[in-house]
Amino acid sequence: MEVVVKRSKRRKKTIQARMIEGRMEVLAPAYISDASLQDHISRLQARLVKRDAARDDAHLDARAGYLNKKYFQGCLTWDSIQYSLRQERRRGSCNCTAKTIRISQKLSGLPQWVEDYVIVHELAHLLEPNHGKRFRALVRRYPLAERAIGFLIASETLERSHS
């Protein structure tokens, strides 16, 4: 997880962390030592990882609803969206006829903006079943699409090198 530290002389006591575009941004007082700050960062990272591990099918449905409104003007409908343990190679799949979407359980551990890209990709299939020009235009509505694709390619390459 990429960590960006922002120190401030105005901040007197508290250390705060938040996720911004897949990066953990840490706001800290200027006077705190690097060693002390690193202890705080480790605890905050663990808390964020634990929070993200709580992703379930209800979380997926809520994200899909949000992304549908934001990038498809709320015009899409689906019967179900679920995590799948059976998807070894695919990140997601969409059955346009049954209006069912499956997302690989492996994605639940990745940054939310990466998972959001895969959800947008599968939602776009509800309108365009192929990967043609119109489909790609729909997916590009998501501003982090190219970055997410790069992240997924890099993590796939890293995964293969550790096998």
The pLDDT tens digits for 69-87 are 999 999 999 999 999 888 7
Range from 6-15, 24-33, 72-81, 98-107 that averages highest in pLDDT: 72-81
> What count of Cα atoms within 13 Å lies in the side-chain half-sphere of residue 160?
6
Residue-range domain boundaries for the chain: 3-53, 57-161
Greater pLDDT, 48 or 17: 17
pLDDT tens figures, 36-52: 999 888 888 887 766 65
Q: DSSP string covering 89-144, please?
A: S-SEEEETTTTEEEEEGGGGGS-HHHHHHHHHHHHHHHH-SS-SHHHHHHHTTSTT
Task: Report which listed range, 3-7, 49-53, 63-67, is most confident.
Answer: 63-67
Predicted confidence band of residue 156 (pLDDT cuts 50, 70, 90):
confident
Q: Which residues contact 63 (CB under 8 A, 6 or more apart)?
A: 112, 115, 116, 119
Q: Which fold has domain 57-161?
A: Zincin-like (3.30.2010)
Check pLDDT > 90 for residue 123: yes
User: Does pTM top 0.85 for this prediction?
Assistant: no
Quickly tell me which residue has 């069912």 as its tokens.
100
DSSP bridge pairs for 17: 26
In contact, 100 and 79? CB cutoff 8 Å: yes
Average pLDDT over residues 47-71: 84
Cβ–Cβ under 8 Å, residues 13 and 31: no
